[in-house]
Structure 1
């Protein structure tokens, strides 16, 4: 082999490894580790999230198995006025929702509050404990001939966690795609005076005025014990993915969600394409036993995951836009060819439409389902191995403003489409889901389109990512120009700065918070900053803009020693982003 051929092979190696990472899947899997780790039994603990983004100390953790034990756990901290936070089984939120603050706080884990309490099939009501995984909830409902109408796409969330952050699927039909819209009752344990034993259970029915505060609460009101959901009779869905040119994307965004009950979109900016999900309810007698088993949520062989991450790092740190775009094209084409993990019978894909029962289509997450295999395989983001490490910016723009926002993003793309090959995860592109206006105080005030952008993150603090200014400009454009609302369970610090002022009923929420937890035991420095009570989530220091801790106002907030300087946005001139000197 000639030297030229060797160099070409070396350049193509990371591309091939990234494609291989999609194709190799295993039946076994090491489930994600417990987010809470203690050195002395249940004392001297730390809590993190499933990605290992943060590590917070705590004095101790409790694992209540019943509501009575949960009340006792809350009473114990309330009696001594100790800070407390709730942790879930897998802890998927990116912000520090589970950090009590300082070294003296307590963590209450809902991992063992994971049972079905009751099912009323005739009234189509189901009550579950708050630590129950979405996966188990939808399967238990299906066994009773019922369906949860909408849910997030990842089934490894708990019902309490997804309610706290306002997690959702995609729909403008009926009550919309957010799970909290189907909550008709819940029981929440909050601190109380000594005369009431330091903790009480508050039961909130469908018409209780506080339900709109409790069903999206970012965990600052107390601990949800049980949730009652209004379900529907078991139904089927028919799914087809259609890829089109993006020339009319801005015009179609407002109408697609009206045409298809579960419709969503994936924009592939570097290709100039949009993948439209044509997803509708069909009669239960329609033939088909399809399954949604998304590749990104399957178990990956550990060696393949490590190799894929190494290839990704090589493309980021020592490659060209041409090579990055080749890798992006390969990954996108591979996922399209494999129908994104959808199969017609649970085993193979034979063509669209894929028809299946709601509980087999609405969410997936098999990498947390499988038995332990000694870490020979794991979820693709498992922190125990050098795995995928990404940030996720998630925000919603009012549907009335969405066409103009998309047109602005396309203008930015048209300046240099190749920069999106590194700026945005090519497996996901820019994802769009629909959310209906909600009565929840921390929900959406009007019909909106939710945008998700996943992108590379270095394990080295302060290390710039290639073409980071693309996502940063889009994010600032959305939040500032189009008044976007951040997803409570995603995002870097900058997305939350001043966000609470955009919620018309924020004051009503804070009044409920003051009544339920007057001493702020379930609050933290982070939640106080986000809710506008005290301080700002922004942290200004060297390299802060690289980490999403601040919006740069001077070069030192970027990485000038590596050629990254603070510059205005290229389309949204009011943005301030860290741009590589040669690119600007």
Structure 2
């Protein structure tokens, strides 16, 4: 276990009420592009509408390549003209300003967007490898692979990311099995466009495989080494998953997490310290012929009524201003009860939750984000900056598995001194252990 680690996410996300569950038939509007340009300036913000310092990124120009050749030309242009360039995606979910080219004036900055570089997915069935260009969305890739009789084993729970973005930022699901839950650990090849000399045209394409010295660095480059062009991912024959959530006491959590991770391939644990509750996800593969056609439509990623999102934010603001800790605890209790009743968005028949276990194909059970594809103005992703909806910050800590027990015990000691102090976090996406 010393070679393993636990990713522990402190999420301040959203509170959903039964009211929202009753209006899920209302479609929501899709998020707008984070990159907006006019005749004089291009502005980039993240999908939440704000960076940590509340300032957007600016550049005089942006380009939208559609092919690898056009991406190469874009990097060449930036290098030749001594511009600070960054590749941006159609989603921009980073909370820190990693996508900003520089802190200097817009005149020296240049955006390269992969929003239109998204039309190439090649499946090599004989070698169980899929090659995909950087701008392809995760949902687009997952469905294409599944249609060919394969599954992508690892992916984050949120599907609103591109392949280039999720690889370079280390996005992951949850697993200690095999190569693990990080998508970049399933990458077997990579193409990246990097600066070059004038004689080489100011930019060139590097094709890398696992034996290349820069391979690991290029996978997790955060856009520093160059622009990821293509990614080769290992895929496996299609499979199904069986998921059961066990809402139970957090007694012994510090001793159970390791065995839980070893027993279930896609295990995770959600912890609500103020409520003394741990939610163990029993999540494993089952044979493809196992009955079940379920969908995981995570509650927080569903289209949410604008009125509900704004009411939740107004309620939280009121609690903050009045320092009403008890109010936060009451809503935390309601949040957990609602998630338990709805199995956190699992739907046995694709419509409603009817009982455990919930069994479905991998492409419908790992990743979700239905608010991305909605169209009505009555609802949206709960954090859509066009409404006065939820506004949150998320942070992650990584621990070696061997010392994670001590961290849990420390948190419990703090909790036991004053449980109400943890109700604010438990209102939202609590503390998730990957």
Query: Shorter chain as normaliser: what TM range?
Result: over 0.9
Residue matched to 1:547: none
> What is the root-mean-square deviation in Å for CA atoms of aligned residues?
1.4
* Superposed displacement of residue 18, structure 1: 4.7
Give how far 1:195 is off. Answer: 0.1
Report whether the alignment pairs 1:390 with 2:387.
no
Alignment match, 2:24: 25
TM-score normalised over the length of structure 2: 0.93
Structure-2 separation of matches of 1:324 and 1:224 = 43
TM-score, with length taken from structure 1: 0.69
CA contact (8 A) 2:29 2:373 kept: no
- Inter-CA distance 70–353: structure 2 relative to 1 (3 Å threshold): same
- Aligned partner of 1:209 in structure 2 is 213
Structure-to-structure mapping, 1:427-438, within 5 angstroms: 427-433=428-434
What is the number of equivalent residue pairs in this alignment?
413
Shift of 1:207: 2.3
Indicate if the aligned counterparts of 1:22 and 1:331 stay in contact, CA closer than 8 A.
Answer: no
Q: Confirm whether residue 182 of structure 1 aligns to residue 186 of structure 2.
A: yes
- Residue 290 of structure 2 aligns with which residue? 286
**CA deviation map 1:368-403 (0-9, x unaligned):** 122x32x32110000111010001011211111100
Q: How does 1:79-478 map to 2 (within 5 A)?
A: 79-101=80-102, 102=104, 103-104=106-107, 105-318=109-322, 320-370=324-374, 372-373=375-376, 375-422=377-424, 424-433=425-434
Which runs of no fewer than 5 residues in structure 1 stay unpaired? 1-15, 434-584
Instruction: Could you list the structure 1 runs, at least 4 aligned residues long, displaced by more than 6 angstroms after superposition.
Output: none
Q: Secondary structure at the match of 2:32?
A: coil
Matched-pair contact (CA < 8 Å) for 1:86–1:223: yes
2:37 matched to which residue of 1?
38
Distance 1:247 1:114 in 2: 47
SS in 1 for 2:71: helix
Higher mean C-alpha deviation, range 206-215 or range 220-229: 206-215
* Structure number, greater radius of gyration: 1
Structure number with the bigger relative contact order (C-alpha 8 A, sep ≥ 6) is: 2
Q: CA deviation at 1:117?
A: 3.4
Distance 1:383 1:415 in 2: 37
Give 1:333 shift. Answer: 0.5
The answer as to whether partners of 1:24 and 1:304 remain within 8 angstroms in 2 is: no
Q: Does structure 1 residue 48 correspond to structure 2 residue 45?
A: yes
Contact kept in structure 2, 1:26 and 1:377, CA below 8 Å:
no
Give the Cα separation in 2 of the matches to 1:27 and 1:330.
Answer: 23
Q: What is the rounded CA distance, in whole Å, between the counterparts of 1:95 and 1:62 in structure 2?
A: 23
Evaluate the alpha carbon distance shift between residue 26 and residue 311 of structure 1 in structure 2; reply closer, same or farther with a 3 A threshold. Answer: farther
Deviation track 1:313-338 (CA, whole Å, cap 9, x = no partner) reads 11222252222211111111111101
1:46 shift after superposition: 1.1
Q: How does 1:478-517 map to 2 (within 5 A)?
A: none
